[in-house]
Every structure is written in structure tokens, then in C-alpha cells.
Amino acid sequence: MTKKPFTRRKLLAAAAPLAAVPFVGKLAFDGEAEAGGQGHASHIQGGDAAHIVGGRGATMGHAAMIGPEVPAVGGPNDLDALLYPPPPLPSKPGRVREYTLIAEDKDLEIAPGIFFPAWTYNGTAPGPVIRATEGDTLRVRFLNRGSHPHTIHLHGIHPANMDGVFQIVESGGQFIYEFEARPAGLHLYHCHATPLKKHIHKGLYGAFIIDPKEPRPPAQELVLVMNGFDTDADGENNFYTVNGRSFYYARYPIRVKRSELVRIYLANLTEFDLVNSLHLHGDFFRYQPTGTGDYWEYTDTIMQCQGQRGVLEIQFANTGRFMFHAHQSEFAELGWMGFFEVTE
């Protein structure tokens, strides 16, 4: 008997919340579609959604999910390269900032036992953080070792022949993007080959920081890229994450210090949903859309559509564990939540 697709609707109906118990089984994908196709079929090995999320502890609320019992993939430092950006550099005329990005197909374990056949930059989704200072020459060498044509489109101001729309790089090819980094702010980069929504959803995106010539105040800096994963190709995400793994920062809370400035570069690359959001418990932050201009909002919740991004600055008033999550409850229950561990 053919198993029914593993959808987020079935997953949510089976138990609440998802993360109360470990995952079992592995998603098996029945034939990868070509770039112009409609995705792939999938099924679950070892049982349907009820077997995955049912069982011991299935009635726990997500407020209780923190620490080693949380079903999240990997060790405590696995995502450090995505969470902590390269350090900012002071303005220096004539400097060249060089990066190499390699497109490759890779199965990513986004939740325990749940594998997603991603297209990645440098093996992760999101890809690595690119950073420069306004006025630097940015040079990005792109190698396509994936199975489909890809590009890199970097947001910002640059010549037309560096835009990554017409400069399609076939499998096995390469291209060098080079231009002056401007304007200052938080930007994005992503593949711009068609079908665009598939190339983005499959994982080809990342954060791109351009620091202003007049440095921002020193702070502990963090990068959070909101994303989702459609594991059954029905056009709806089954899992939501920041930096690519569900519930990761619930199992491994982000450590910060009370009263010290924390700066968060937040971007939304979630496909299939119109908006994503971030809500912080127990405190307020200052929010600067796109990380540019003079406007700052004072709030505890912000929304972003796909491609939107901004800079959050906060000095925590109290010590303890403070939750952060999407304020769409479904997104939080399907993986998009974590904690800050605030210490003296």
C-alpha cells in the first residue's frame, strides 16, 4: 500500500508539539526533478507522521523545550560559522575582500532523521556569511559543482554584468563577480536561475553584510537567516528554521551577557509563505530595516516578507533564559524557536 505524503498538516495533527520526542525514519526522495520540473515525490521510511511525532512526551508544550532533550541535529558548535559573522574591518582604501562560493548538491539533515536534498553554497543552507566594508572591492569566485545551472545574485549596487541574472554558470563552470561594495547595510545573495523559487527554496542563499565606513558601536554580533523546508514537494514547508536546523537554538541556547550590546542581522529567505517573523520574550529591541538609514523601531516583534532583512540591537535587562521564535505559532511548533541564555 502506498504511503500518503508527509505534509505539515498531518504532522501538526498527529501531535503537538512536533519537538516533544525524537524523530525516527528518513525521508526518501523518489527521483530528483530537473531544474525546470515540479520537484520530487517523497515518502517516509519506518512509518507515517503519527509514528514520527507521537509517543513519549507528546503532550509537552513548546515552552518546555530547552536543553539536551530537544530533538535537534548536531553538536553545540556546528552552526557557529553561520551564527557568528566574520569580524568587521575598518575602512581602508584599495582593499580587496575575496570569497569563494561552491555550489554543490548535498543531503542536509534538518531534523533528526529528516534529510533534505539541498542545493547549497559551500555545503550549507543558508550559505556562508559574506562581509565587506563600504568602498572595498568585493571579489567572489563562484564554482558550480552542482547538477544544475546556477548563479549568484548579490543585492546592492553593482554593474549589470555582475548581477547574476544573465551570467548563468553551467555545471562544471565558474564565474568571478567583482565590484565595489555599496551601500552599507544588510543585504542578501541567492541564486537567480529559473525556476527561481526552486533554486531559492533548495538552499542557494545567504547573508551579505556591508559595514559603514563609520563603524557601528562594538557588539556581540549574530546572524539569523529564517528559512523553511518543503520535504514532500507539495508547496508547503514542513519544517521552519533559523540557520538551517529545526529547534537547534532550543537545544543549544545562544549565550549573551546582560547589559552588553547584542547586534542581530536578521534576514528572511522563507519560500512558499508570504511572511516570517521574530518575537523576543522578556525584552524589547531596536530594529533598523535593511540596516540602513536613521529610522529605528522599538519593539519585541517584527515581520519580514521574503527578501526583507534588518538589524536588531538589544541590551538585555535581566539574566536568564529568554525565548525567541516566529510569532506564527505553526512555524514555532515546526522548528523555528530558540533561546538566549543571558548571564552576568
**What does the pLDDT look like over 204-245, one tens digit per residue?**
999 999 999 999 999 999 999 999 999 999 999 999 999 999
> 4-15 pLDDT, tens per residue?
444 555 445 433
How do strand 320-325 and strand 275-280 relate by DSSP bridges?
Answer: antiparallel
Residue 300: strand pairing partners:
none
The SS3 call for residue 187 is strand
| Residue 64: band (very low, low, confident or very high) from pLDDT cuts 50, 70, 90 | low
How far, in Å, CA of 172 to CA of 139, rounded?
Answer: 20
Residue 187: strand pairing partners:
208
**For range 152-168, the mean pLDDT:** 95
- Give me the CATH code for the 220-343 domain, please: 2.60.40.420
**For range 21-37, the mean pLDDT:** 36
pLDDT at 66: 82
| CATH class of the domain whose range is 80-211 | mainly beta
> 275-304 pLDDT, tens per residue?
999 999 999 999 999 999 899 999 999 999
The yes-or-no verdict on residue 53 having pLDDT over 70 is no
How far, in Å, CA of 336 to CA of 237, rounded?
Answer: 12
Q: What percent of the chain has pLDDT over 90?
A: 78
The yes-or-no verdict on residue 22 having pLDDT over 80 is no
The yes-or-no verdict on residue 78 having pLDDT over 90 is yes
pLDDT at 68: 86
Burial status of residue 285 (CB atoms within 10 A of its CB: 0-12, 13-18, 19 or more): buried
How far, in Å, CA of 313 to CA of 315, rounded?
Answer: 7
Identify the residue whose cell numbers are 509514528: 51
Average pLDDT, the chain: 86
**For range 53-57, the mean pLDDT:** 30
pLDDT at 308: 97
The yes-or-no verdict on residue 59 having pLDDT over 90 is no
The b-or-e profile of 8-40 (16+ CB within 10 A means b, else e) is bebbbebbbbbbbbbbbbebebeeeeebeeebe
Q: What angle do CA 203, 304, 236 make, to 5 degrees?
A: 50
pLDDT at 18: 41
| Residue 168: band (very low, low, confident or very high) from pLDDT cuts 50, 70, 90 | very high
pLDDT at 51: 31
How far, in Å, CA of 65 to CA of 149, rounded?
Answer: 41
What are the contacts of 217-220 at 24+ separation with CB within 8 A? 217/261, 218/261, 219/260, 219/261, 219/262, 219/263, 219/313, 220/256, 220/257, 220/260, 220/261, 220/262, 220/263
Among 23-37, 85-99, 315-329, the least confident range: 23-37
Are the CB atoms for 312 and 285 separated by under 8 Å? Answer: yes
Q: How far is CA 209 from each of CA 33, 87, 299, rounded to the nearest angstrom?
A: 33, 11, 23
| Residue 37: band (very low, low, confident or very high) from pLDDT cuts 50, 70, 90 | very low
**For range 99-116, the mean pLDDT:** 97
pLDDT at 20: 37
pLDDT at 60: 39
Portions of the chain given CATH number 2.60.40.420: 80-211, 220-343
The yes-or-no verdict on residue 28 having pLDDT over 50 is no
The yes-or-no verdict on residue 40 having pLDDT over 80 is no
Nearest to 121 by CA among 228, 226, 202, 27: 202
